[in-house]
């Protein structure tokens, strides 16, 4: 029978694109197709009505789909800006003095950025003024805007969040912590307008939708409605991929929905088998990296190499090399060519030594695979609790140097530092930095107080993030900026910076943020990808050190992914990887709690519209 989810025709498109999600997209779609078709062939699910019938039906255009969804769950006000009323969950200890009784969601006029495309500050238990609500760029811009920011795990999680948010919006009684905004302000309204106290008319929430776990392990637990929604999502998104404007987002939606669908329909033993497959893949990649197979293989278009020649070049027995290669060709990482040759794929090219992903694999192998092996012993030694850190973390325990912090350990090995920097390069390209925080007031105030430090990048490495800001905002003068980092990092960075137009004139502060207070009274203290490296107690100490230097009008910014509860798969993975270095991913509520312990309050949240990344702004707790 003809497959309902006919994705073969889309494979060419996916094959032509180059990013981290390719392997996921292909494997997941293939798996979806096989699994779903298998069930159709057996008639097992169709007969029970779990999966929509394969009869052709008109596929709605993206705008129609978005409109249908929004019409379904909301009313539309006169300006064409949609508002959704979602009651607050009952809780005795919530203090939402600035917020309305009923929480509202603002949806862009096109309806395509439901629960995205805006920023907000209010989550249950967090009391911040509605003035911090701002809109960010729309979803399509987020995915198509930057050449460097194609599909990524973050964006896939963004897609997962978008799907979750959509479902949560229609769930009047479900968990609302990450689903919606709190202030009833349209993106067009000024941010200082007070929140409406009543939800607009015609915004009665619909009946609750059943819960919808995401990802493997959800086997058999999805409702028929959710399965239909996912199948429809895949069909529509696959159709949308042909349009250049919507292709990235469409592809991410396809992957996200497909992952959830696979998790729901794959039989449990297959889920466990897939773990074994992953373990074996990881092991084969590791061996091939250490033999430099990916570097030695010819990388030209259409080129391949015989197993015999490759075996000779890497000094391995041919029979052994073939078995290892099969593990990778059967999973799409390498390509086997009949009768006895093997070729690179775009995925295996990324595993070469000079590639950021190749370095990232090595870092992850140590931090996750090797550290995992000693985790039982680690927890025996330190107790079954989150690592406290900054030292005595699983990675330093693994190295037999428990007394060291992660970065102290790293800095002992120059080769590993280089690898880490290469790996970070990819994370920096994938993760949004600009386009979230509202810079106007910073620039105005900096101009009014030219002798005051405007921007202090705490743990700013070699100034790479500051460069992005100075490039985007030339009014941010070098003399009003500082980068603070460990002495050895600052020493190396200072030298390089002298030849860099964007960093010339910037102040460099050798500094240990566990021990010292940074320069007093700056306008902004910016911490990007610092918080997640540390436990709550260590982070509280870092924030408290900075709070001691802040003036009432100073702001501390934390730029991180905001995770949700329960997290989508890549968020969960990142959190797990962070555990091994003593860190963690956090929800907005968790950031609020850590800030409060350090004498700070959340004064604004600026979300990226297409990914889970955000800038959380803090002010001194006792300031206005
Ligand atoms: C994950 S990197 C983040 C770098 C940069 N902020 C970014 O977003 O790409 C963490 C940075 O914190 C610095 N760092 C680690 N421990 C530190 C400490 N105790 N005091 C100051 N900086 C530290 C590291 O050297 C590194 O540059």
Measured in Å, residue 157 CA sits from the centre of ligand 1 at 25
For 407, the token pair is: 């970065």
The closest residue, in CA terms, to atom 3 on ligand 1 is 529
Distances (CA, A) of 355 to 202, 422, 523: 54, 7, 37
- Report residues whose beta carbon is within 6 angstroms of any ligand 1 atom: 407, 424, 428, 459-461, 465, 485-486, 489, 511-514, 528-530, 533
The closest residue, in CA terms, to atom 13 on ligand 1 is 459
Measured in Å, residue 461 CA sits from the centre of ligand 1 at 6
**What is residue 517's predicted lDDT score, i.e. its pLDDT?**
81
The string of pLDDT tens digits covering residues 333-353 is: 999 999 999 999 999 999 999
- Count the residues in the chain: 624
Least Cα distance to 211 among 201, 219, 221 occurs for: 221
Give the residue, out of 461, 489, 539, with the most ligand 1 atoms within 8 A of its beta carbon, to mutate for a pocket test. Answer: 461
For residues 411 and 425, give the distance between their C-alpha atoms in angstroms, rounded to a whole number: 17
Closest atom of ligand 1 to CA, residue 424: 9
Domains and CATH numbers, the chain: 8-57+212-266 (no CATH), 270-345 (1.10.10.10), 356-415 (no CATH), 428-620 (3.40.50.150)
- The total of other beta-carbon atoms located within 10 Å of residue 170's CB is 21
- Min mean pLDDT across 25-39, 261-275, 357-371, 497-511 is at 25-39
For 474, the token pair is: 């030339």
Whole-prediction pTM value?
0.67
At 216, the pLDDT band (50, 70, 90 cuts) reads very low
At 431, the pLDDT band (50, 70, 90 cuts) reads confident
- Min mean pLDDT across 10-19, 168-177, 385-394 is at 168-177
- pLDDT at residue 412 greater than cutoff 60: yes
At 246, the pLDDT band (50, 70, 90 cuts) reads low
How would you label 60-84 residue by residue, b for 16+ Cβ within 10 Å and e otherwise? bebeebbbebbeebbbbeeeebbbb
- Min mean pLDDT across 222-231, 248-257, 562-571 is at 248-257
Closest atom of ligand 1 to CA, residue 513: 20
Q: Which of 32-41, 50-59, 214-223 has the highest mean pLDDT?
A: 214-223
Task: Please enumerate in sequence order all residues whose Cβ is within 8 A of that of 412, keeping only pairs 6 or more positions apart, or say none.
Answer: 404
**What is residue 420's predicted lDDT score, i.e. its pLDDT?**
84
Measured in Å, residue 365 CA sits from the centre of ligand 1 at 21
The closest residue, in CA terms, to atom 19 on ligand 1 is 512
Q: Helix crossing, 8-16 with 21-42: angle to 10°?
A: 170
């Amino acid at each position: 029978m003809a497959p309902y989810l006919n994705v073969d025709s889309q494979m060419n498109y996916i094959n032509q694109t180059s990013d981290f999600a390719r392997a996921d997209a292909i494997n997941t779609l293939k798996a979806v197709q096989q699994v779903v078709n298998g069930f159709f062939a057996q008639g097992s699910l169709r007969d029970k009505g779990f999966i929509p019938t394969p009869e052709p039906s008109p596929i709605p255009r993206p705008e129609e789909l978005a409109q249908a969804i929004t019409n379904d769950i909301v009313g539309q006000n006169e300006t064409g800006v949609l508002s959704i009323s979602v009651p607050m969950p009952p809780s005795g200890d919530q203090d939402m003095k600035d917020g309305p009784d009923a929480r509202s969601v603002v949806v862009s006029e096109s309806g395509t950025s439901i629960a995205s495309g805006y920023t907000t500050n209010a989550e249950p238990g967090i009391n911040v003024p509605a003035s911090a609500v701002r809109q960010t760029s729309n979803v399509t811009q987020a995915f198509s805007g930057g050449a460097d920011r194609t599909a990524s795990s973050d964006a896939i999680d963004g897609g997962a969040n978008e799907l979750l948010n959509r479902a949560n919006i229609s769930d009047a009684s479900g968990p609302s912590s990450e689903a919606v905004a709190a202030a009833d302000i349209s993106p067009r309204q000024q941010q200082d307008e007070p929140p409406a106290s009543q939800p607009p008319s015609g915004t009665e929430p619909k009946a609750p939708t059943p819960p919808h776990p995401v990802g493997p392990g959800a086997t058999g637990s999805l409702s028929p409605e959710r399965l239909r929604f996912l199948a429809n999502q895949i069909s529509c998104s696959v159709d949308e991929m042909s349009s250049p404007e919507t292709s990235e987002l469409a592809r991410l939606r396809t992957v996200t929905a497909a992952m959830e669908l696979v998790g729901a329909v794959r039989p449990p033993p297959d889920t466990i088998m897939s773990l074994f497959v992953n373990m074996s893949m990881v092991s084969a990649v590791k061996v091939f990296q250490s033999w430099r197979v990916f570097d030695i293989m010819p990388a030209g278009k259409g080129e391949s190499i015989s197993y015999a020649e490759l075996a000779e070049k890497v000094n391995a027995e041919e029979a052994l090399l073939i078995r290892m290669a099969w593990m990778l060709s059967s999973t799409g990482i390498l390509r086997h060519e009949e009768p006895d040759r093997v070729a690179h794929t775009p995925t295996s090219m990324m595993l070469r030594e000079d590639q950021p992903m190749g370095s990232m694999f090595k870092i992850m192998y140590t931090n996750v695979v090797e550290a995992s092996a000693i985790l039982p012993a680690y927890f025996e030694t330190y107790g079954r609790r989150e690592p406290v850190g900054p030292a005595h973390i699983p990675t330093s325990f693994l190295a037999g140097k428990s007394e060291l912090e992660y970065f102290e350990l790293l800095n002992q090995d120059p080769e590993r530092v280089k690898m880490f920097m290469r790996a970070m390069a990819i994370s920096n390209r994938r993760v949004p930095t600009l386009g979230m925080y509202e810079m106007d007031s910073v620039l105005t105030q900096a101009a009014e107080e030219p002798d005051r430090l405007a921007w202090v990048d705490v743990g700013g490495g070699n100034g790479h993030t500051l460069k992005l800001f100075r490039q985007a905002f030339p009014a941010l003068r070098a003399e009003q900026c500082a980068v603070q980092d460990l002495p050895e990092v600052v020493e190396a960075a200072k030298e390089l910076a002298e030849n860099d137009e964007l960093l010339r004139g910037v102040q460099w502060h050798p500094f240990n943020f566990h021990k010292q207070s940074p320069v007093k009274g700056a306008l902004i203290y910016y911490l990007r990808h610092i918080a997640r490296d540390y436990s709550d107690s260590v982070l509280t100490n870092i924030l408290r050190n900075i709070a001691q230097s802040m003036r009432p009008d100073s702001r501390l910014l934390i730029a991180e992914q905001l995770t949700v509860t329960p997290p989508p798969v890549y968020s969960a993975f990142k959190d797990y990887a962070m555990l091994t270095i003593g860190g963690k991913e956090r929800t907005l509520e968790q950031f609020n709690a850590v800030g409060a312990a350090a004498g700070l309050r959340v004064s604004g949240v600026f979300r990226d519209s297409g990914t889970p990344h955000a800038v959380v702004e803090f002010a001194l707790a006792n300031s206005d």
